[in-house]
Amino acid sequence: MYLSPINTQDLYQFLIKEKLHENETFCLYFSEKSNVEIADLIKLLNKSEIPFFGAIFPAVIHNGEHYDNGVVISKLKNVVSTHLVQGLDQNKMTIPEFKIAPNKNYCALTFVDGLAPNISLFLSEMYDKYGKSISYLGGGAGSLSFVQKPCLFFKDGFYDNAALIVIVETQVSLGVTHGWKKLKGPLVATKTNKNVIEEINWEPAFLVYQKYILEDSGKEITKDNFFSIAKGYPFGMHKDYAECIVRDPIATDVNNRLVCVGEVPENTVLDLLKGEQSALINAAENAAMISRSSASSEVNNVILIDCISRTLFLEDHFSKELTVIGQELKKSTKNQNLAGALTLGEISSYGNGNLEFFNKTTVVGLFHE
Contact residues for another protein (CB under 8 A)?
124, 127-133, 186, 188, 237-242, 245, 265-269, 351-354, 356
CA distance 126 to 12: 34
Closer to another protein by Cβ: residue 142 or 175: 175
Closer to another protein by Cβ: residue 60 or 245: 245
CB of 367 to another protein, least distance (A): 21
Closer to another protein by Cβ: residue 42 or 270: 270
CA distance 14 to 75: 13
CA distance 70 to 36: 9
CB of 284 to another protein, least distance (A): 21
CB of 44 to another protein, least distance (A): 39
Closer to another protein by Cβ: residue 73 or 187: 187
CB of 242 to another protein, least distance (A): 6
Closer to another protein by Cβ: residue 132 or 223: 132
Closer to another protein by Cβ: residue 267 or 337: 267
CA distance 310 to 360: 6
CB of 107 to another protein, least distance (A): 17
CA distance 269 to 185: 8
CB of 240 to another protein, least distance (A): 4
Closer to another protein by Cβ: residue 108 or 329: 108
Neighbours of 193 (CB within 10 A): 12
Short-list 192, 198, 201, CA closest to 254: 198
Tell whether omega for the bond before 96 is within 30 degrees of 0, i.e. cis. Answer: no
CB of 186 to another protein, least distance (A): 4
Closer to another protein by Cβ: residue 177 or 252: 177
CB of 81 to another protein, least distance (A): 18
Rounded to an integer, what is the distance from CA 333 to the centroid of its chain? 23
